[in-house]
Chains A and B, each alone.
Chain A
Amino acid sequence: METSNSSWDLIIKPQSKWFDLHLRELWKYRDLVYLFVKRDFVTLYKQTILGPAWLIINPLIATLMYTVVFGNIAGLSTDGLPQMLFYMAGTITWEYFSQCLLNTSATFQANANIFGKVYFPRLAIPFSITLSQLLKFALQFLFFMAFWLYFSLNNAEISITWAASLFPLLVLIMAIQALGLGILISALTTKYRDVQNLMTFGVRMAMYATTVVYPLSSMLEGSTKRLFILANPMTPVIETFRFGFLGTGTFSWIHLSYSAASGLILIILGAIVFNRVEKNFMDTV
C-alpha cells in the first residue's frame, strides 16, 4: 500500500520555506496565546499587597524622578507643557516599547524548557508578550488620561488635536517595531549570547536617543543631533503621541511613515530569521 503524498497532514523536513510564519497554526493556538497573556497578567502580582496598582506606581515613580532630575535640576525644556504630563507621555510609551522588546528578545532562553518538551507555534510566546504588554499599556494610558483631566481642569495649556486619532496606528507601529526587533534578537541569542548582554543597557541608552525626557524641538532644525534622534524610529511615535494628546510636539507625515516603514522592515526581517532558527534552536540554546 502506498499513500500518496497529498494525504499526509504533516511533513517534517530539514529545510523549511524561506518565509513561513505558520500564521494559520498560530490562529489554531489562539487559546494558548490568550492563556499565556492571562498567565503573565495573573502571576505578575500574585503574593503582592498592592497587586495591579504596581502597574500605575511604576510609571508614576519614573515620571516623578524625571520631573525632579531632568525638569527641575537639569532644567530641560518640556515644550511649555506641564512637566508631569510631558514625562508621563514619554515614559508610558517608551515603557511599552522597551518591555515588549526586552521580553520578546528573551523568548528562546526564557522558555527553553517548555520548547524542549512540546511543540506549539513558537511565535505564540512573542505574540502573547506583545499583547499582555498592550494590556498594561492600556491601563497606564487610562491613568495618563486621568492626569490629563486633572491638569486640564486646572487650566493647564494642553489640548487634544486631530492627531490623537492616530493613537491606534501609533500603538501598532510600536508593537511591530518591538516585536520585529525582539524576535530578530531572540533568534540571534540562541547561538550568540553576546547580544543578550547588550540588551539591558542597549535599551536604556536607546531611551536617551529617543525623545522621552526632552522634546524634539529642543534640537536645532537641520543639526546632526536632530537627524540622529530622528533616525530612531521611536522618536516620531512619541512626538506624535505628545502632539495628539498634549497639543505641542513635532508632527510630520514623513517622520511617521519612516517609523511605520522601519517597523515593517523589522518585522519581516525578524520573521525570516525567527523562522530559520525556531526549528533547530534547541540544539544550540
Chain B
Amino acid sequence: MTMRNRTSELFLGVASGLLLGLMTAGSAIADDPEEAEVGVEADVEDAIVIGGSIPMTGVFAFAGLQFNDGFRDFVQWINEEHGGVQGRKFRYVGQDTGYDPDQSVGVFRRITSREDVHFYFGDSTAFSQTINSALNRQDILMTGASFASELNNPEEYPLQFLLGPDYSEQVGVLLEYIANEDPGARVAFVYSDTEFGRDPINASVERAEDLGLTVAETIVTPPGAADISSAALEHRRARPDYTIFHGYILSPIPDFIERSRQMGMETRFMGTYYTMDQGIIDEMGDAADGFMGVMPYRYYYDEEADDYPIMRTIREMNDEYRATTYIQAWLVGMLLKEIVNATLEAGDELTGTNMRRALDSLEDIDTGGVIGVPVTFRGNSIPVGRIYRADVEAGRMVPVSDWIDLTEE
C-alpha cells in the first residue's frame, strides 16, 4: 500500500467514523428527547417550548447570536424568578440555520418532530413565507426577525406577528418625524436591490407625498455592492434634505455618507431598525454623528432604562452593552408571557389558534419598558417607534422624539 493510499484510507476511516458515530449518537438522542439537553430546564415536564430557527452562522449571525442569548436569558429569568407562567415553565430550543431558508425549514422540521413546540421564532422573510402553511397545519404561533410588510396581513399569515412596525411603517415613522420637523422637505430613498430593500419603497413614496414631502429620488444599489459611485452621483444631483437608507445593515452606508460629505452635501441621513444598532457608531466613528433612525425598542443604555422592570433586569443580567436584537428576543418573551397567561386564563390549550386569539384580545400590553408605551397589535404589527440620533461624542444613540404611534392620526 502506498503512502497516498494509506492517507486516503485514514481520511476515509476518520470521515466515515465521524459521520456514522454522529448518526448513531444522534438517533439515540432523537429517541430520547429528554437527553437532548437543548436549552435550559430540559427536565421540566409540561414545559412551554419556544423553538427557533436561529442564524448563528452566516451573514445574519451578528443578530442570531444575540437572539439566542436573549431567549436563553429570558427563559432563565422567567423560570427562576417567576416559576414560569401559571406554574408552567419555559424551555428554549434553538438551532443554527446559517441564514439559509432551506436550512431554516429543516431546523423547524427537526425541532417540531422532536418536541411539542408551542411557539416558534423564524429568521427571515423567506422562511416566514415558506413555513406559513406548515404553521397553519401544525397550529403553531410564530414571530421572527423579519419586519416585511408582506407579513403584516392577518388573513394570509394568521399565525404570525411582527415584533414592531413593519418596514413600511418604520419608514412611515421617519416620514412623520420629517413632516413635523421640516414640512415640505425633499426626501431621497436609497435601498438595496433585495426583497429586504425593496419592501417599503413604493408605499413610502406614496406616504411621503401624502405628508406633503417631496420625493427627490429613489436610488437602488445592487445587492452587496461595494462600488456606490454612480448611486452617490445620482444622490448628489437629487440634493435631498433627508436621505433614508433601507435594506442594509451597515455597508455601503459609511461610504455613501463620506462621499456625500466630501461633495459638500447637507443632507440628514436616516436608517431603519437593522441599521440602527450601536455598530453604526462603533464602526463609522465621527462620520456617524447625527445619523438618525427609527428604533422600536429602548437601547440597553437608555437613560430611563432603570425605571422599567425588564430593562432593569436586562441591565442587571448583563454588565456590558447588549445589542437591540438581544432586547428584541426579550420582547418576544414578554409578549409570549402575556399571550400564554391570557390563553391559560381563558382555559384554552396552548395551540397556535388559541394563542393568536389571546393576542388579539390583549390591549395595552406592558412590555416592561422594552417599548416605551403600552402596545396593542394592529394587524400583525406594532406600529410604534421612536427616532434616535447618533451622538458620537457620547458614544450612544439618543432619543430625539417621543414614541410615535402611527395609529394615532
Say whether A and B bind each other: no
Interface residues, chain A, with chain B CB atoms under 8 Å away: none
